[in-house]
């Protein structure tokens, strides 16, 4: 069956951030220079070609693109300065929006207003919820010593009148769970949709059931070590990304999974595991974010040269979350209950909308999509090898 070409697709892709794409004349230098392609994954040329011809189905089902880490070698070698790297990134944004069945992702990627409104909407909701249900005790101002424990730190769970420390903790804890369930639930349905688009929609492909298990190790291995990124020239970037990724994963687990053991009243010595892990995560995030922000301003690295507004939003939200988190910690240790309370509320008012936007709908979701893409590619490979052993793609 022939597919109808769509000459206006590329223009619609411009909203996802692509620039300069018109120069491309399909020479294939991008593919030739790419350190990541393998025989079965061929890009960027193939993906670019599908985009140029407006073959949306192909783009949605294309899994190869997820092997790319945007090192920018293709853009460096492009003779027409058509910036394939940026095109790849834009197509990935398009793919993320295609996986999302709610349609919100597309809104967020193509409209800054939508994303900001959503962000502030949730932030204000959080502030209102605190104002109504967890208002600060007036004694924070009049009698601050009431909130200081024997180590001199602020008792963070006891700052609301009429609600015990334990109760406060569990309100937040369950709130976290609700947030994690909503965001995670959306992400999981999106991943299932991704499975549908890339794997199950094509009825001719039959995945043997056992392959779902035998290939599972790839999902974990790629999630945990990101071996593809390590193949790019910039090894330092891999290391930074690794520290960053483990940092926020730890933070996520501490907050969502183990809040009652993390957010404790007493101030434990620095060598306790809560604090060690917390410091590691914070430093990991900062150490990576600082050069990234500098890079995005300087625009001297291909990877960081072209910033879509969603990139900036993500960075800004992360920085604000991190700074407010650090402030809570400092104010707490300094024994400043009022500052602790407000920094805590602000921290949550930033963190919650960030998670709600980023996890299921925007840039952050690549954390889940990419290992799953590699998993799906492995599943596809298992089939291709079984059913059509001689099929080799003719054109890259």
Partner 1 sequence: MEEIRIGVYVCWCGTNISKMVDVEDVAREIETLPYVVVARDYKYMCSDPGQDLIINDIKKHKLNRIVVSACSPRIHELTFRKALENAGLNPYMFEMANIREHVSWVHTSREDATKKAKALVAGAVSRVRWHNSLDKRFVEINPATLIIGGGISGISAALEIADSGKQVYLIEKTGQLGGFAAKIDLSSPFMYSAPQMINPKIDKIFKHPQITVFLNTQVEEMSGYYGNFTTKIKTEEDHEVELKFGNIILAIGLSTFDPSVIENYKYGKIPDVITSLEFEQYLISGKILRKDGSVPKNVAIIHCVGSRNSNYHDYCSRLCCKNALKYSNLIRAAIPDANIFELYSDMRAMGDGCEELYSATSRKNVMFLMFDQKNGMPDIREASSDDNCKMVIEMDEKLSGERVEIPADLVILMVAIEAQKEAKKLAQAIGISMCGNQFFIERHPKLDPVATTTDGVYIVGSCQAPKGIPHSVAQARAATARILARINVGHVEVEAATAKVNEDICCGCQTCISICPYSAISLDEEKQVSVVNEVLCKGCGTCCSACPNGAIRAQHFTDTQILSQIDGLLEKSLQLQEGLL
Pick one of 16, 17, 18, 45: the residue that binds partner 1 (CB under 8 A). Answer: 45
Q: Give the residue, chosen from 19, 23, 235, 273, that forms a contact with partner 1 under the rule CB under 8 A.
A: 23
- Tell the smallest beta-carbon distance from residue 2 to partner 1 (Å): 4
Q: Which of residues 162-201 bind partner 1 (CB under 8 A)?
A: none
Q: Tokens for 192? A: 């299932």
The region of 1-9, 165-173, 189-197, 276-284 touching partner 1 under the rule CB under 8 A is 1-9
Q: Which of 8, 142, 145, 391 binds partner 1 (CB under 8 A)?
A: 8
In the complex, the smallest distance separating the C-beta of residue 294 from partner 1, rounded to whole angstroms, is 33
Calpha distance 5→392 (Å, rounded): 24
Nearest alpha carbon to residue 302 among 2, 21, 128, 71:
71
Q: How far is the CB of 37 from partner 1 (least distance, A)?
A: 16
Cα of 187 vs its chain's centroid, Å: 11
Q: Which two tokens stand for residue 361?
A: 């709908």
Which of residues 29, 31, 52, 340 is near partner 1 by CB under 8 A?
52
Q: Which positions from 74 through 133 interact with partner 1, judged by CB under 8 A? A: 80
In whole angstroms, give the CA distance from residue 43 to residue 36.
9
**Is 60 in contact with 50 (CB distance < 8 Å)?**
no
Question: For 200-231, what is the HEC assignment?
Answer: HCCCCCCCCCCHHHHCHHHHHHHHHHCHHHHH
If one asks whether residue 10 binds partner 1 (CB under 8 A), the answer comes out as yes
Of 53-61, 248-256, 278-286, 306-314, which part binds partner 1 (CB under 8 A)? 53-61
| Residue among 53 and 242 whose Cβ is closer to partner 1 | 53
Using alpha carbons only, how large is the chain's radius of gyration in Å?
A: 24
Residue 281 contacts residue 248 (beta carbons within 8 Å): yes
Closer by beta carbon to partner 1, 65 or else 186: 65
Q: Which pair of tokens denotes residue 95?
A: 């793919």
63 binds partner 1 per the rule CB under 8 A: no
Interaction between residue 5 and partner 1 (CB under 8 A): yes
Query: At closest approach, how far in Å is the CB of 195 from partner 1?
Result: 23
Cα 122 versus chain centre, distance: 18
Of positions 29, 50, 61, 110, contacts partner 1 by CB under 8 A: 50
Which 3 state secondary structure label does DSSP give 153? coil
CB of 394 to partner 1, least distance (A): 6
Nearer to partner 1, 56 or 231 (CB): 56
For residues 322 and 125, the answer to whether their CB atoms sit within 8 Å is no
Give the residue with the Cβ less far from partner 1, 31 or 190.
Answer: 31
Can residue 3 be called a binding residue for partner 1 (CB under 8 A)?
yes
Residue entry with tokens 């999974």: 257
Q: Could you say which of 132, 236, 392, 394 contacts partner 1 (CB under 8 A)? A: 394
Listed ranges 22-30, 83-91, 140-148, 366-374: which one lies at the site for partner 1 (CB under 8 A): 22-30
- Using CB under 8 A, which of 53, 116, 207, 250 touches partner 1? 53
**DSSP single-letter state for residue 67:** G
Applying CB under 8 A, what is the total number of residues that bind partner 1?
Answer: 26
With CB under 8 A as the contact rule, the residue among 58, 193, 275, 381 that binds partner 1 is: 58
CA dist 342 to 167, 240, 312, 325, 351, Å? 19, 31, 25, 11, 14
Q: What does the block give as tokens for 388?
A: 């059509």
Which residue has tokens 């290939």? 215
Alpha carbon distance 230, 265 (integer Å): 41
Shortest Cβ 253–partner 1 spacing (Å) = 43
DSSP secondary structure letters along 85-144:
HHHHHHHHHHHHHHH-TTSHHHHHHH-HHHHHHHHHHHHHHHHHHHHHHSPPPTHHHH-G
Q: Which stretch binds partner 1 (CB under 8 A): 155-163, 269-277, 341-349, 387-395?
A: 387-395
- Please give the structure tokens belonging to residue 112: 């800054």
Which residues sit at the interface with partner 1, rule CB under 8 A? 1-5, 7-8, 10-11, 22-26, 45-46, 49-50, 52-53, 55, 58, 80, 393-395
């Amino acid at each position: 069956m022939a597919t109808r070409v769509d000459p206006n697709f590329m223009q619609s892709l411009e909203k996802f951030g692509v620039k300069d794409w018109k120069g491309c004349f399909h020479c294939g230098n991008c593919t030739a220079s790419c350190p990541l392609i393998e025989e079965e994954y061929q890009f960027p040329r193939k993906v670019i070609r599908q985009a140029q011809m407006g073959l949306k189905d192909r783009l949605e089902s294309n899994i190869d693109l997820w092997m790319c880490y945007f090192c920018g070698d293709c853009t460096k070698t492009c003779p027409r300065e058509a910036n394939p790297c940026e095109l790849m990134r834009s197509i990935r944004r398009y793919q993320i929006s295609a996986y999302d069945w709610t349609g919100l992702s597309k809104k967020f990627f193509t409209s800054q207003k939508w994303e900001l409104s959503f962000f502030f909407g949730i932030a204000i909701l959080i502030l209102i919820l605190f104002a109504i249900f967890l208002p600060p005790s007036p004694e924070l101002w009049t009698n601050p010593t009431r909130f200081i424990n024997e180590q001199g730190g602020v008792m963070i769970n006891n700052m609301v009148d009429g609600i015990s420390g334990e109760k406060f903790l569990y309100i937040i804890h369950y709130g976290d769970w609700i947030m994690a369930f909503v965001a995670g639930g959306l992400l999981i349905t999106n991943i299932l949709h991704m499975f549908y688009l890339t794997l199950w929609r094509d009825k001719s492909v039959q995945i043997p059931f056992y392959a779902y298990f035998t290939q599972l190790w790839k999902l974990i291995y790629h999630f945990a070590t990101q071996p593809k990124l390590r193949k790019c020239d910039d090894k330092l970037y891999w290391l930074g990304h690794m520290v960053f990724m483990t940092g926020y994963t730890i933070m996520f687990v501490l907050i969502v999974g183990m809040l009652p053991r993390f957010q404790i009243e007493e101030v434990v010595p620095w060598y306790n595991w809560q604090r060690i892990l917390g410091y590691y995560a914070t430093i990991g995030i900062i150490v990576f974010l600082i050069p990234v922000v500098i890079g995005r301003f300087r625009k001297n690295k291909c990877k960081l040269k072209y910033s879509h507004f969603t990139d900036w939003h993500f960075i800004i939200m992360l920085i604000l979350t991190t700074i407010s988190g650090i402030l809570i910690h400092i104010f707490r240790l300094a024994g400043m209950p009022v500052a602790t309370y407000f920094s805590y509320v602000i921290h949550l008012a930033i963190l919650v909308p960030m998670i709600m936007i980023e996890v299921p709908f925007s840039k952050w979701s690549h954390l889940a999509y990419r290992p799953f893409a590699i998993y799906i590619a492995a599943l596809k490979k298992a089939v291709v090898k079984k059913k059509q052993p001689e099929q080799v793609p003719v054109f890259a």
